[in-house]
């Protein structure tokens, strides 16, 4: 039975990845910050270790013996990174390096570094392929780009078998209500206003978390060392268009939308070309309309999970 270590495995995407694993002995390492929640792993067989990916001593104990390490551990909210970048650099850069060194020292056969399309900055037309240069425009994106570059350096310098995935905006159940979709859903379900940045024209490409995790599993199986693989979304929408769909799904009107000042350095548009991963057999399975409807229903039916947030 394969032994798999999932860092950040109590968070939104990490816990979904753990839920999708079959016939594996899974260890979850998570610091349990505000976005980590052990309830996300209820009913899922795993061994839990509470700790920080920056803790080299802890990693020397936990990492050895695993066949695969998947790194989801990250500070991920752009607004928080604008308010204070220190923790983002610490976790996303130093934490990644500390983990990769532990994997190298322990002889881990395969590592996947989970990253984001935000490392590329903003694109007016077309889509980025994996050869595009990184041009991050927020502290969060810069920290993620730093971690990715460290991963590529470990592949080239040390021969570590680490691949990198970059994905668009995720949505689905169990996402902490600070990101757009869960924030808007939970506010609307309570009859509260939702904040729409600027003119609402910023464009994002949305992917269901289950499809994202399927792409990561494929890269874990066949990804090449030092290579980047895009996992593109299934619906490219302006934030205003998305807001309209959320209002409809929650049975609310535009009078609950509050236009607020735009975020500093707000990237206008993201778009990924994922032909490289599709050539390996990847196909997203969840249409956006279906996934969004099911996500709204999950938050409606699981108020105890998010109401304390």
Task: Give the catalytic positions in this structure.
Answer: 117-118, 140
Contact 162, 226 (CB under 8 A): yes
**Structure-token match 């002889």, residue found:** 107
Return the closest-CA partner of residue 115 out of 138, 94, 97, 92. Answer: 92
- Find residue 201's DSSP bridge partners: none
Nearest-angstrom CA–CA distance, 286 and 299:
18
CA distance 67 to 36: 24
Structure tokens at 122: 């903003």
How far is residue 30 from each of residues 123, 173, 209, 219, 235, measured CA to CA in Å? 33, 19, 19, 22, 31
């Amino acid at each position: 039975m394969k032994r798999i270590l999932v860092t950040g495995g109590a968070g939104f995407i990490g816990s979904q990845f753990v839920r999708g694993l079959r016939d594996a002995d899974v260890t979850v390492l998570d610091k349990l910050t505000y976005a980590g929640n052990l309830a996300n792993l209820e009913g899922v067989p795993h061994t839990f270790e509470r700790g920080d990916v920056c803790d080299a001593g802890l990693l020397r104990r936990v990492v050895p013996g695993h066949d695969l390490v998947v790194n989801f551990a990250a500070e991920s909210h752009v607004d928080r990174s604008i308010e204070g970048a220190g923790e983002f650099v610490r976790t996303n850069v130093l934490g990644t390096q500390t983990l990769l060194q532990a994997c190298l020292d322990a002889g881990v056969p395969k590592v996947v570094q989970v990253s984001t399309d935000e490392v590329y900055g903003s694109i007016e037309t077309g889509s980025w392929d994996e050869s595009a240069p990184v041009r991050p425009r927020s502290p969060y994106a810069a920290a993620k780009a730093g971690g990715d570059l460290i991963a590529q350096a470990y592949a080239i310098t040390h021969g570590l078998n680490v691949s990198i995935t970059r994905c668009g905006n995720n949505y689905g159940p169990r996402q902490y209500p600070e990101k757009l979709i869960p924030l808007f859903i939970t506010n609307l379900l309570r009859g509260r206003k939702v904040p729409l940045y600027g003119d609402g024209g910023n464009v994002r490409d949305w992917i269901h978390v289950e499809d994202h995790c399927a792409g990561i599993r494929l890269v874990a199986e066949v990804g090449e060392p030092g290579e980047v693989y895009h996992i593109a979304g299934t619906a490219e929408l302006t934030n205003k268009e998305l807001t309209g769909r959320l209002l409809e799904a929650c049975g609310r009107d535009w009078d609950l939308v509050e236009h607020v000042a735009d975020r500093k350095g707000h990237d206008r548009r993201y778009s990924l070309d994922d032909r490289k991963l599709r050539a390996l057999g990847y196909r997203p399975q969840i249409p956006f309309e279906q996934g969004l409807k099911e996500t709204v229903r999950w938050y409606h039916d699981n108020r105890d999970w998010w109401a304390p947030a």
